[in-house]
Chains A and B, each alone.
Chain A
Amino acid sequence: MNLFLDAFAWLADPANWTGPGSIPQRIAEHLWVSALVLVIASAIALPLGALVGHTGRGREPAVMVSGGLRALPTLGVLTLFGIWIGIGLAAPVIALVILAIPPLLAGAYAGFESVDRRTIDAARAMGMRELQVVGKVELPLGMPIVVGGIRSATLQIIATATLAAYIADEGLGRFIFAGLKTRDYGEMLGGSILVILLALVIDGCFALTQRVVVPAGVRATRTAELRSGPTRSRTIVGRPNTEGNQE
């Protein structure tokens, strides 16, 4: 308990809230690093996942790659890149991007795959071009799952971005590493609490977003299905269309 008192004392100390290396500055750095990582990882993983989900091709390699990346220990990757590239932001950003790609990729292809094949077929039959099928049908309908992937990636990034401080003077991890060094456990725990709070707040925002992006018509479907009782027909995802060929 004493430790927590120390942590709260540290958090409450006005001296920690101003000047260089203050809590607000570290939070800003933490968010900035996380956002940077998210943007880079998204730019790589989302189009790739969308492509896999849209075409139904390359699913196996995608699963394998994300499984492989998931197995990499982030701290090890970070150390490796740290030794290779040197001190600074580059190594942690790369390590975090690697960490973030699997959930983003999985969310993107699962989201695109989840769209009813018959709906996609109908869109194509009406004369939508492939990009229009993606943008006007698959993306809006798959969005909740895609956002789910972004959400879990973000949570992991924010939690793991503490490691950036291991090798760069960035983020809330500084408090944890500094506290560890000086045996200031109040600072260490305080830093951890800040990371947790930050992660929870951001996750809450995503939870909300995830709800908002469910298309109104789809929400209507859910209530309609509730109305019609337990004989709820499940959408079959990822099956090839059996009526006709796909381009």
Chain B
Amino acid sequence: MIEFRGVTKQFPDGTIAVHDVDIVIPPRKTTVLVGSSGSGKTTLLRMINRMVDPTGGQVLIDGTDVATVDPVKLRRGIGYVMQNSGLLPHRKVIDNVATVPLLRGESRRAAHAHALELLDTVGLDRSLADRYPAQLSGGQQQRVGVARGLAVDPNILLMDEPFGAVDPIVRAELQQELLRLQGELGKTVVFVTHDIDEAFLLGDQVVIMQQGGLISQAASPAEILAHPADSFVADFVGADRGKRALHVTEVDGRRVVVDADGRAAGVLAS
């Protein structure tokens, strides 16, 4: 379990990126931080592995304040998938995936063998192992990034807009892949996006953030749709419009669900 207690981050230039945040991130579930650009999602995420230190409050992992943990040790135990993959350009795919296990002192042979398995896990062909990041497509790079994040079998996986840089089709594919993986692995995933659809698709818990690092609502997608905390949330999730404003109409004795534009979305199961 990850817990934010009254966490504030003010950067030296005075910017308050995160303001007095309390969140509980349950274990083995996916929590999605969603909000517009500059709302403090990345800052919040990076406080978990101490890439950013809070200026107020505490971040706890399983009850331990991360401020008391050596940052290097902490980071080697947490998977982190970055936007634009963050792969090391001078290392082959296999070495990128094996980076952290090698840092932790695993033998090269074991680390490489495991890295190959991880390529399978994330749906990459093993023949790509000897390529360099620049020789991969954006989607492939993201998969390598995910494989690298999983390489130390971490309990916690941080993902910062991991699918932001790929086209919608590949993105949908990667999302499904992540859902499958999460079903198998059951990690504590903290996922950052500014796409509310992605948040609702992937999140067991969705945390909606607004400018100034304030949390508007943290709840399951269903709860957020049912009871948006305020008009900002309602507006942000688009609860009252488009494909989310669904109505039930009766057609030949069956109850059909249609959206605001009258397009059929599905049939109510009896």
A: which residues have CB within 8 A of B?
Answer: 116, 118-119, 121-129, 132, 137, 140-141, 215-218, 220-221, 223-225, 243-245, 247
Contacts and interface: CB of A to CB of B under 8 A. Distances in A.
B86 interface: yes
Interface size class of B (residues with CB under 8 A): 35 or more
Contacts of B84: 118
A220 B135 contact: yes
The residue in A216, A218, A244 that gathers the most chain B C-beta atoms within 10 A of its C-beta is A244
A218 B87 CA distance: 12
Nearest to B43: A244
A123 B91 CA distance: 12
Contacts of A244: 42-43, 46, 51-52
The residue in B52, B71, B82, B134 that gathers the most chain A C-beta atoms within 10 A of its C-beta is B134
Contacts of B86: 118-119, 121-122, 125
A244 B55 CA distance: 12
A215 B90 contact: yes
B192 to A, nearest CB: 11
B92 A127 contact: no
A218 B192 CA distance: 29
A23 B8 CA distance: 72
B169 interface: no
A221 B135 CA distance: 7
A127 B135 contact: no
Interface in B124-138: 131-135
A126 B76 contact: yes
A165 to B, nearest CB: 43
A5 B86 CA distance: 62
B100 interface: yes
Contacts of B77: 127
B82 A125 contact: yes
A226 to B, nearest CB: 11
B36 to A, nearest CB: 16
Interface in B19-58: 42-43, 46, 49, 51-53
Given A127-B75, A217-B134, A221-B134, A140 B90 contact: yes
A57 to B, nearest CB: 14
A215 B103 contact: no
Given A118-B86, A217-B92, 18 more contacts: A116-B89, A124-B75, A125-B82, A126-B76, A127-B73, A127-B74, A127-B75, A127-B77, A127-B100, A137-B90, A215-B90, A217-B90, A217-B134, A221-B89, A221-B134, A224-B134, A224-B135, A245-B53
A243 B42 contact: yes
Contact of A218 (B51, B82, B90): B90
